[in-house]
Structure 1
């Protein structure tokens, strides 16, 4: 259980951390996604900060378990919001979303199972 918890949490942190960097450096992909989902581009850095906070919180959870649980729960909510944004505009391109969502749900489930 411990190895699965560490591995999945680390993978979720890397995934969300990488996405945060892409959002924060002003890469064209998040801007195009924001345009497609009819989200103001001014939200892109804020969304990147949320991803960065979630990524850091997952890592902090190794030292402070409640921080990891809250970060994982926050990321699950973030990706539920992303799903709503996709569906609102009729986008059915959900593979990337599904990979992130399954990863953060697994991180949350393993965090809860291991610590609580």
Structure 2
């Protein structure tokens, strides 16, 4: 299970860092999607910081399982909020990315718990 966790944690961390960078650079697609569901531009740096922290925690969690578990829980909660925000505004077109990332983060959590 440890090898599976490492693979999922690395891939999820890459996705989180990419998403955080897109928020900080205010990529057009991200701005359109998030402002369309009511997320103010001023919240983008905070959201990016959460993603960077989650990525770092998942990676450090390879060697220190308690941090990996905490980070995975945080990332799961982050994407539960993202999915909820899209559903609240009935933005079904923008729902696929947060749902996939929610599932991957849940897999990271389960794998980290099983490989302790």
- TM-score surpassing 0.5? yes
Counterpart in 2 of 1:108?
A: 109
Query: What whole-Å deviation, never above 9, does each CA across 1:17-37 have from its counterpart, x for those lacking one?
Result: 111111122222222122111
Counterpart in 2 of 1:4?
A: 4
Q: Distance in 1 between matches of 2:96 and 2:24?
A: 22
Is 1:97 aligned to 2:98, yes or no? Answer: yes
Q: Is this contact kept in 1: 2:16–2:54, CA < 8 A?
A: yes
Q: Distance in 2 between matches of 1:11 and 1:51?
A: 13
Count of residues in Structure 1 that have an aligned counterpart in Structure 2: 115
Counterpart in 2 of 1:33?
A: 33
Stretch moving more, 68-77 or 5-14: 5-14
Cα distance, 1:48 vs structure 2: 0.7
Q: Distance in 1 between matches of 2:67 and 2:2?
A: 17
RMSD: 1.1
Q: Distance in 1 between matches of 2:83 and 2:14?
A: 21
Instruction: Point out where structure 1 has 5 or more consecutive residues left out of the alignment.
Output: none
Correspondences of 1:67-106 after superposition (within 5 Å): 67-93=67-93, 94-106=95-107
Q: What is the TM-score of this pair, normalised by structure 1?
A: 0.92
Instruction: Point out where structure 2 has 5 or more consecutive residues left out of the alignment.
Output: none
Correspondences of 1:3-22 after superposition (within 5 Å): 3-22=3-22
Q: Distance in 2 between matches of 1:33 and 1:102?
A: 20
Q: Is this contact kept in 1: 2:73–2:109, CA < 8 A?
A: yes
Q: What is the TM-score of this pair, normalised by structure 2?
A: 0.92
Counterpart in 2 of 1:24?
A: 24
